[in-house]
Amino acid sequence: QQPVQSPQAVILREGEDAVINCSSSKALYSVHWYRQKHGEAPVFLMILLKGGEQKGHDKISASFNEKKQQSSLYLTASQLSYSGTYFCGTVSISSGSARQLTFGSGTQLTVLP
Amino acid sequence: EAGVAQSPRYKIIEKRQSVAFWCNPISGHATLYWYQQILGQGPKLLIQFQNNGVVDDSQLPKDRFSAERLKGVDSTLKIQPAKLEDSAVYLCASLTDRAYEQYFGPGTRLTVT
Task: State the average pLDDT over residues A33-57.
Answer: 85
Antiparallel, parallel or unpaired: β A102-103 and A84-92: antiparallel
CB contact under 8 A, A99 and B56: no
Which residues 34-63 of chain B have a CB within 8 Å of chain A? 40-45, 48, 55-56
CB contact under 8 A, A98 and B91: no
Burial A15-43 (b: 16+ CB within 10 A, else e): eeebebbbbbeeebbbbbbbbbeeeebbe
Does the pLDDT value for residue B13 go beyond 80? yes
What is the pLDDT of chain A when averaged over all its residues?
A: 91
Query: Which region among A50-59, A67-76, B14-23 has the lowest average model confidence (pLDDT)?
Result: A50-59
Antiparallel, parallel or unpaired: β B10-13 and A43-49: unpaired
Q: What is the 3-state secondary structure (H, E, C) of chain A?
A: CCCEEECCEEEEECCCCEEEEEECCCCEEEEEEEEECCCCCCEEEEEEECCCCCEEECCEEEEEECCCCEEEEEECCCCHHHCEEEEEEEEECCCCCCCCCEECCCEEEEEEC
pLDDT score, position B61: 95
Residue A18 pLDDT level (bands cut at 50, 70, 90): very high
User: Taking the CB of residue A2, how many other CB atoms lie within 10 A of it?
Assistant: 16
Give the minimum alpha-carbon distance from B98 to chain A in angstroms, rounded to a whole number. 11
Q: Are B19 and B8 in contact (CB under 8 A)?
A: no
Does the pLDDT value for residue B36 go beyond 90? yes
Percent of chain B with pLDDT strictly greater than 90: 87
Does the pLDDT value for residue A74 go beyond 90? yes
State how far the Cα of B38 lies from the Cα of A81, in Å rounded to an integer. Answer: 24
